[in-house]
Structure 1
Amino acid sequence: MKTSIRLAGIAALGLALASAAPAAPKKAAPPQIDVKLMRAMIQRLASDELEGRAPSSPAEPKVLNAIIAQFKAAGLKPGNKGLWLQAVPTVEITAANNSALTVTGTAAPLSFKFGSDYVAASYRVTPKTEIKDAELVFVGYGINAPELGWNDYAGLDMKGKIAVILINDPDYAMETQDGPFKGRRMTYYGRWTYKYEEAARQGAAGALIVHDTFPAAYGWNVVNSSWTGAQYFVQSANNGANNTLANGWIQKPVAEAILGAGGQNLGALSEAAKQKGFKPVPLGLKASLSFDNAVRKSMSHNVIGILPGKQAPNEYVLYSAHWDHLGRCTPDVRGDDICNGAADNATGVAALAAIAKASVQAGPARRSQVFLAVTLEESGLLGSKFYAENPVYPLRATVGGVNMDNLPPIGRARDYAMSGGDKSELTALFRKALAARGLKESPEDHPEHGYYYRSDHFPFAKLGVPMYYVKRGNELVDGGSAAGAAASEDYRKNRYHQPSDEYSSKWDFSGIVQDVELYMALGRDLAMGKTWPNWYATDEFRAIRDQSRAGLKGK
C-alpha cells in the first residue's frame, strides 16, 4: 500500500512538473503557396499583349520585367553578378518563299506543298537555302550507336544526299522496356534533334523525318505550328556550317508516295529497319527544295535570382522553368494566330515565382537556391543549354535541382511519376517525399514520347547535374485514371502548341498547388541537406558527374 502511495505521489509530481514545463516547440508549417500570385502571373504571361512570348521579340522585355518584378517582390537577389539577366546570343532565321518539295526520277515528277505536306528550315546563317537534285536515301531510324553495334548509315557516303528518317527508336512499339533501345521508353536516339545531329555528322545535305503521330507523340498540327515560323539558335562562330543545308519533316502519306515511286514500301522498310544490321536503301530518286532566309542576330535572356544559403552558400540547388513560347503561329479556325502558352509554360514560371516567395518566407536554407527562368526551350532547350555550358554557378558545385514545365490545371492526383525512369539517387528522395504526402509512385505515362529529352533539365543532366523532372500522374482524386488520361489526351490534341492554350479563370488550381508544394519540398530537401545525390553507376551521365566532382569533398 505504501508502495502504491509512493508511486501515486511520484506520478502526481511528474504530472505537475510536466504541466509546469514549457511545451516543446511545434514544427513550423511550410509557407502557403500563393495561388493569387500564380493566377495573376499566368494571366499576364499568357495575355495577347505578350504575343506568345517569342524570344528576341518586342514582347520579350515585357516578359522579363514581369518575371523580375516577382523575383524582387519575393525577396530574391539578382543572380548574375548583381544582374537579373544572362544574355543568350541568338540567331533568328525566318524562312519565306518556300518552294514545293519536288521529287524526280519517276515517270511524272511528284510535288508536295510546304506546310500541309512538308516543312523544312535551315540551321545555317545564310540568305538562301537551295537543295537541287539531291539523292534520297532511306536510312531507317537514322541511328549510329557504336556501343550497340548499330549503324543505319553503314557503308554509305551521305555527302550531297537527303536522309529520309523514321521518328523514335526501333523498338518503340514494345510494351516492355527490355529492348536494345529500352523498348517502349524512348532514348535520345529517338529524338528528332539527335536525328538531325547525326545526319549532319554523316555529311548529309538534308534530313527529312517521317511524321507518324503515335511514335512522334504529337500530330502534324504541332509540327506545322513549330516549323512554319521563326527558328532560333544560339550564335556560333561558324554560323551553323556544321549542320545540314536543311532539316524538315514529311507527312507519312508523303513518305509512302515517295518510297512507292522508288519501288519500295514504307511499311516493309520500317519493319526491316527495326532489325540490327539494317542497311540504308537508296531510292533512285532526287529531291529539290528552296527557300529564302531572313536572318536576325539578337539577344534573348535567361532570368536568374538567388536566395543565398546560410552554412554552404557556395553549394547550389536549381529551380528552373522556361518562359518562352511560340509567339505568333499558324492561325486556328477563329483566325487566332497567338500561341499564348498558358499551360506551356506560364504555369512553370508562376510556380518558380511562388516557390521563390515561399522559400524566402521559410528562411534561407543551408545551401543557396537559384531560380532560373530560361529562354528558347521551344527552339531546342537553348536557354538552359547556354546556361549549362556557361554557368554562373559552377555545375560541379550544383547539387541538383527541379525543373518545372507545363503544370496541368486538372485537379489533384494520387500519384506522381519520375520522367526518364529510375536513373539516380534522387529517386529515393522522391519516394520519401511522396510517402510523406500519402502519394504513390506510378510509371511514367507514355515513356515512348521521350519527355525526358524535351525539357530544360536535360542540358544539365547531359553535363552531369542530377535534376528532378516529375509529373502528376493520371489517377485523379476526382474521376480516377480514366479522367486523368482523358484530360491529358484532350490537352495534347486540342491545346498543346496551339492558340487554344489560353488561361481561363475557371482553371482548377488544386493540382497545380499540389505540384508546386511537391517541387518546393524536393528542392528544399536538397538545399537543407549535405549529401550529393549521384547518377547510378550504369547511367550514361555518371561518368561526366564523377569527372566534374573529382577531388571535391562530398559524394
Structure 2
Amino acid sequence: MKSALCLLPLLAAGCAAASTGGGAPARFDSGPIDTGRLSEITRVLASDEFEGRGPGTPGEAKTIAYLSDQFRRLGLEPAGDNGTYVQRVPLIRTQLAKPGRASIARGGDRIPLRFPEDIYLSTVREVDTARIAGAPIVFVGYGVSAPERQWDDFKGVDLKGKVALFLVSDPDFEAAAGDPVAGRFGGRAMTYYGRWSYKFEEAARRGAIAALVVHETEGAGYGWNTVQAPGGENYNVVLKPGAQPPVLLQGWLQRPVTEDLFRRAGLHFEAVKRQARTAAFRPIDLGSRFDADFTVQTKRVDSHNVLATIKGTTRPDESIWFAGHWDAFGLGAPDPQGRRVRPGALDDALGLAGVLEIARAFKAGPAPERSLVFAAWTAEERGLLGAEYHAANPTFPMAKAVANLTLDTLQPNGPARDVVLIGKGQNDLEDMLARAAGQQGRIVIGDAKPERGLFYRADHFAFARKGVPVLLLMALGGGVDLVNGGREAGDRWVSDFTANCYHQTCDAWSADWDLRGAAQDVSLLYAIGRELAFGTAWPAWKPDSEFAGIRKESEAQRR
C-alpha cells in the first residue's frame, strides 16, 4: 500500500516511480515548484539594486517592498503589524570606527594587535566609545556551564571587568577515542554550548567586559575571511530596561596570537587545550592585560520581518511556518574585481524564492485547514535577531505552532540522490521528510560536518528554543550525491563555496545554475506542509532532544 503522502498531487509522479520495485530509477520531479521562478526571484533579490540587503539600509527598504508585493500578488493575507506585511524589529547598528587600537600588555612588553588581521572585534552595546584599560585576560577553556552534563569550566572564578578567552566548539570536539570526555557533549557534532553566541552570552552573565574566541578554522567551520567579513559592524535588538547588558567588546583572536600569549605566560597552548578537555579544568589568569580604544558609530534602526499567511479554514490558530532570511551583508570593502555588494544569492535569496514558490503552490490548491505562515526574517546574519524577536513577540501562538520548515542556502548544481538534513535525529518531522524524499527516489542524510553547528546558526533555532518542532534544509551541511558528478562533486562545491564565497561578493546569481536539485528540496517542504495542513498530527521531539521538555510545558494548550 502506498504512503498517505502519495495521495498528494505534488508527488503523484514520484510515487509511481518509487512503487515499481527494486532497481527502479530515481525520479527527480519537483512538482509545482518552478525552477525558472526560483531563478528569477533570486536574480532580483541578489541584484546590485538591492545593495546586499543590509538591515536598516536603502537595500532593506527595496527588499521588504519587493517581498510584500510578491505576497500581495499571490493573494496572501498580511500577518505583520497593523494589517501590513511587515513586523517592526527595533535594532541598534554599531560600527567600530577606524582607526582604533587594541593591544595586550605583559610586564613591560606591549603587543599591538592589528584589527582585523590579528583580532576581530565588534560591539552590540549602544555606546559611543568602546574603551577597555588594563583588563586581566582569563582563559576559561570552552566556557561551558552544563550542570546536566556535570561540567563547569568556570569553577566560580570572578570575571567581573575581565576579558574571557574561550576555545571554539565543545570540550569533546577534539577528544580521542577512550578519552573520558568523548561523546559527553556531541563528539564532532556541536551542541549549543559550542556556539560563539552562547560563549558571549555566558561571559556577559558572569560580568566580563569582553569575550574573545580563539579562531581555529576546523572548529569554527569557516576561515578568518568569514570572521572579518562584517568589518566591525554588528547589530542587536534594542534591549528592554533591566535586560542583561552584553559584553562591551566581543570577537575572535587568531590562533598564532593566542599561542604567543600562552608562551609568554610560560604555557603551551596545545597542552592547556588538553587540560580544558577534562572536567577538572580550572580557569587560568594569563597574567596579561587587554587594552582597546574604539570610537563606535551607533544608530537605532527599524528593521522588519516580512510575514504573510493563508488562514486555516477550521483551525486557524494552529500554524505551519515556511521561512528563510532576507538579509545579507550589504556593502563591504572592494574585492579584487572592485565589487562591493555582497549579494547573498544562495544565502539566502534562493531560500526566499523557495518560500514564495511554496506559497504560490498552496494558493493554487484548496484552502488549508491549519494556517500557513510565510516568513522572511531580518538580521539572521547578525545573530538570528529577526526570528528571535518574532519568537518573543509572535503573531500566532507559539504553543500551537505545528512546525517550522526553513530553507537556507540551497545548492545550484542540479538533481541529487539525497537531501541533507541539518540536526538529524531531533523530531518526528524527519520521518515525514524521509517518506517524501523516498517518493522522489532519494534518501535523507545527516550533516556531514556536524562540528560546524549549523543547527544553531539558522532562524529555525529561534522556534526550537520555544519548543516548536523544526526542519532545516541547508546544502552547506555536506556534499550531496549529485546526479552529475556524485558526492565528490557535491563535496567540492561545498568546500569551494564555504572557503571563497560564503558571505562574500561572489555569492552571486548565475544564469548557469541548474536549480532542479533546489526545486526538489523546496518541494519536500511543500509536501510535508500539505500533510500537516490537512491533518491533525502534532509532530513531537524525540525524547532525548534538548527541546522536548520545552514543548511538553505547553502540551495542555494543544489538546
Shift in Å, 1:29: 5.1
Alpha-carbon distance between aligned partners in 2 of 1:471 and 1:162, rounded to the nearest angstrom? 35
Aligned equivalents of 1:266, 1:206: Cα separation in 2:
21
Contact 2:141–2:153 at 8 Å: present in 1 too? yes
Q: Which residue pairs with 1:205 in the alignment?
A: 209
> Which of 178, 189, 194 is 2:193 aligned to?
189
Whether 1:495 and 2:501 are equivalent positions in the alignment is yes
Question: For residue 138 of structure 2, what is the aligned residue in structure 1?
Answer: 137
- 1:542 and 2:548 are equivalent in the alignment: yes
Aligned to 1:41: 41
Measured on the aligned residues, the alpha-carbon RMSD in Å equals 1.8
In the TM superposition, 1:378-393 aligns within 5 A as: 378-393=381-396
1:60 match: secondary structure: helix
Instruction: Tell me which of 279, 289, 311 is aligned to 1:276.
Output: 279
Q: Deviations over 1:341-381 (max 9, x none)?
A: 11101001111111111111122222111001110100000
Indicate the residue corresponding to 1:303 in structure 2: 306
Q: Is the 8 A contact 2:125 2:246 kept in 1?
A: yes
**Could you list the per-position Cα deviations for residues 170-196 of structure 1 after superposition, in whole angstroms to 9, with x for gaps in the alignment?**
111358996111111100000000000
Question: 2:489: which partner in 1?
Answer: 483
Check if 1:63 corresponds to 2:63: yes
What is the aligned partner in structure 1 of residue 147 from structure 2? Answer: 146
> Residue in 1 aligned with 2:399?
396
1:115 & 1:248 partners in 2: Cα distance?
10
CA-to-partner distance for each residue in 1:249-274, whole Å, 9 max, x for gaps?
11111111111112112111111111
Partner of 2:25: none
Task: Give the CA deviation at 1:78.
Answer: 1.1
Asked whether the equivalents of residues 103 and 109 of structure 1 are also in contact (C-alpha less than 8 Å), the reply is yes
**What are the equivalent positions in structure 2 for 1:408-427 lying under 5 Å apart?**
408-427=411-430
The 1:272–1:544 alpha-carbon spacing in structure 2 relative to 1, beyond 3 Å, is same
Q: In the alignment, which of 451, 456, 461 is matched to residue 454 of structure 2?
A: 451
Q: Tell me if structure 1 keeps the 8 A contact 2:76–2:308.
A: yes
Q: Is the alpha carbon distance of 1:530 and 1:197 closer, same or farther for their aligned partners in structure 2, counting shifts above 3 Å?
A: same
Question: What is the one-letter code of the residue matched to 2:141?
Answer: G
Query: Structure 1 residues 121, 370: closer, same or farther in 2, change over 3 A?
Result: same
Relative distance call for 1:321 and 1:244 in structure 2 (3 A) is same
CA–CA separation in structure 1 for the residues paired with 2:474 and 2:49 = 30
Q: Are positions 1:532 and 2:538 aligned together?
A: yes
SS at match of 1:431: helix
Name the count of aligned residue pairs.
527
1:65-80 alignment runs, 5 A limit? 65-80=65-80
Aligned to 2:224: 220
Contact 2:175 2:277 in 1 (8 A): no
SS state at 2:350 partner:
helix
- 2:116 is equivalent to residue 112 of structure 1: no
Q: Distance in 2 between matches of 1:537 and 1:529?
A: 23
Aligned ranges 1:518-529 → 2 under 5 Å: 518-529=524-535
Q: Are the aligned partners of 1:315 and 1:399 in contact in 2 as well (CA < 8 Å)?
A: yes
The corresponding residue for 1:285 is 288
Aligned partner of 1:65: which letter? A
Correspondence for 1:89:
90
When residues 216 and 152 of structure 1 are mapped into structure 2, their CA distance, relative to the original with a 3 A threshold, is: same
Residue identity in the other structure for 2:153: D
Maintained 8 Å contact 1:196/1:207: yes
Contact 1:34 1:354 in 2 (8 A): yes
Give the letter aligned to residue 356 of structure 2: A
The letter of the residue matching 2:457 is R
Contact 1:91 1:234 in 2 (8 A): yes
Residue type matched to 1:463 in 2?
K
2:473–2:521 CA contact under 8 A, matched in 1: no
Q: Give the aligned partner of residue 103 of structure 2.
A: 102
Separation in 1, partners of 2:246, 2:498: 31
TM-score relative to the length of structure 1: 0.92
After TM superposition, give the deviation of residue 239 of structure 1 in Å: 8.8
Name which of structure 1's ranges 173-182 and 373-382 shifts more when overlaid on structure 2: 173-182
Counterparts in 2 of 1:488 and 1:195: CA distance versus 1, 3 Å: same
Task: Please give the alpha-carbon distance, in whole angstroms, between the structure 2 residues aligned to 1:271 and 1:512.
Answer: 42
CA distance in 1, matches of 2:168, 2:336: 29
CA-CA distance at 1:537 after TM superposition: 2.3
Measured in 1, the distance between the counterparts of 2:296 and 2:108 equals: 32
Matched, 1:232 2:235: yes
Deviation at 1:107, TM superposition (A): 4.6
Partner deviation per Cα, 1:388-443 (whole Å, 9 max, x = no partner)? 11100001111112101011211211112321121112222122112222211223
Larger mean CA deviation between 199-208 and 376-385 belongs to 199-208
Q: For 2:333 and 2:266, how far apart are their aligned partners in 1?
A: 35
CA distance in 2 between counterparts of 1:175 and 1:432 reads 36
Q: Which moved more, 1:235-244 or 1:119-128?
A: 235-244
Taking the aligned partners of 1:238 and 1:291, their CA distance within structure 2 comes to: 25
Distance 1:108 1:552 in 2: 63
Are the counterparts in 2 of residues 229 and 329 from structure 1 also a CA contact under 8 Å? Answer: no
> Which residue identity is paired with 2:160?
K
Task: Check the 8 A contact 1:224/1:330 in 2, yes or no.
Answer: no
Determine what percentage of the aligned residue pairs are the same residue: 38
Q: Which amino acid aligns with 1:191?
A: R
**Contact 2:10–2:527 at 8 Å: present in 1 too?**
no
Letter of the 1:212 counterpart: E
Pairing 1:506–2:509 present: no
- Tell me the SS of whatever aligns to 1:185: coil
TM-score in terms of structure 2 length: 0.91
Secondary structure of the structure 2 residue equivalent to 1:475: coil
Whole-Å Cα distance in 1 between the matches of residues 558 and 499 of structure 2? 48
Aligned: 1:345 with 2:348: yes
Asked if the contact 1:411/1:512 (under 8 Å) is kept, the reply is yes
Matching residue's letter, 2:68: I
Tell me, yes or no, if the aligned pair for 2:71 and 2:308 is still in contact at 8 Å: yes
Q: Secondary structure at the match of 2:299?
A: strand
Cα distance in 1 for partners of 2:232, 2:114 equals 16
Which residue is equivalent to 1:250? 253
Q: Is the 8 A contact 1:121 1:248 kept in 2?
A: yes
SS at match of 1:286: strand
C-alpha separation in 2, matches of 1:520 and 1:174 = 40
Residue 157 of structure 2 corresponds to which residue in structure 1? 156
For the 8 Å contact 1:124–1:241, the answer to whether it is kept is no
Distance 1:448 1:161, change over 3 A: same
Q: Does the aligned pair in 2 maintain the 1:535–1:542 contact within 8 Å?
A: yes
Kept in 1: contact 2:120–2:232 (CA 8 A): no
Partner of 1:18: none
Residue ranges of structure 1 left out of the alignment (5+ in a row): 1-25
Query: Once the 2 structures are TM-superposed, how far is the Cα of residue 446 of structure 1 from its aligned partner?
Result: 0.2
Deviation track 1:487-524 (CA, whole Å, cap 9, x = no partner) reads 11011011001111111111111111111111211222
CA distance in structure 2 between the aligned counterparts of 1:122 and 1:239, rounded to whole angstroms: 19
Report deviation, 1:240. 6.9
Paired amino acid for 1:541: F
Structure 1: distance between partners of 2:245 and 2:206: 11
Shift of 1:486: 0.5
Deviation at 1:37, TM superposition (A): 2.1
Q: Which runs of 5+ in 2 are unaligned?
A: 1-6, 12-30
The farther-off stretch of 112-121 and 171-180 is 171-180
